[in-house]
């Protein structure tokens, strides 16, 4: 793989072809366009630095990059700097425009369409975990269901999504 050989052209190709999809994942969690753009840059730096940890026998490169983006987004939201910036925002700021554009971008890559084919109990968990950035423990407490049940349902939902994507 050219990326593991640190070839600039392969990195440029990744950015040109996947940055918008990764930005959508980040924006779904972060909900702030400026911070999402900064996080996207951090994600590509992580991809560049951590490409050696990617194992193609475990999954696709795109899936690995999506997980890097999702994890970086969650880290951003949990950071003190992010929490402080949210406290300093004016209450009159309108977040509906950001949420609307995020919904459209997610729909454009077809992910939400596939997620909505799942049973409601699975769809809810995927929504909370992957689109809103909650941990399994937080979801367990929020929905008042055992953590083991959350984990089992998430695993089932991801298996079903994987099967649908392969079709």
Supply the CATH number for residue 127's domain: 1.10.10.10
Query: Average pLDDT, whole number, for the chain?
Result: 77
Residues 13, 54 within the same domain: yes
Domain stop point among 98, 118, 146: 98
Please write the tens of the pLDDT for every residue from 97-118: 444 444 444 444 566 777 777 8
CA-to-CA separations, 52 to 42, 49, 132, in angstroms, rounded: 17, 8, 29
Q: Is there a domain that residue 127 lies in?
A: yes
Domain range for 152 is 110-167
**Does residue 137 fall inside a structural domain?**
yes
Eight-class DSSP state of 5: T
Query: What are 133-164's pLDDT values in tens digits?
Result: 778 888 888 888 899 988 998 888 888 888 87
Residue 105, in any domain of the structure: no
Distance CA 56, CA 64 (A): 9
The verdict on residue 103 lying in a domain is no
Mind listing the pLDDT tens digit for each residue in 76-102? 888 766 666 665 554 434 444 444 444
20, 90: one domain? yes
Q: What is the CATH number of the domain that holds 77?
A: 1.10.1740.10
Contact between 27 and 98 under an 8 Å Cβ cutoff? The reply is yes
On whether residue 104 sits in a domain, the answer given is no
What are the backbone angles phi and psi of residue 73, rounded to the nearest 5°? -65, -45
């Amino acid at each position: 793989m050219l990326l593991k050989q640190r070839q600039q052209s392969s990195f440029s190709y990744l950015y040109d072809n996947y940055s918008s999809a990764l930005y959508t994942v980040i924006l779904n969690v972060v909900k702030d366009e400026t911070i999402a753009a900064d996080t996207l840059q951090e994600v590509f730096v992580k991809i560049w630095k951590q490409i050696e940890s990617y194992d193609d026998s475990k999954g696709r490169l795109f899936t690995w990059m999506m997980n890097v983006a999702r994890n970086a987004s969650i880290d951003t939201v949990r950071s003190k700097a992010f929490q402080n910036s949210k406290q300093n925002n004016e209450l009159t700021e309108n977040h509906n425009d950001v949420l609307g554009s995020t919904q459209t971008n997610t729909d454009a890559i077809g992910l939400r369409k596939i997620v909505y084919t799942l049973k409601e109990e699975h769809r809810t968990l995927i929504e909370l975990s992957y689109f809103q950035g909650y941990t399994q423990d937080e979801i367990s407490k929020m929905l008042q269901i055992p953590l083991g049940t959350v984990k089992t349902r998430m695993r089932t939902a991801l298996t079903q999504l994987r099967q649908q994507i392969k079709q």
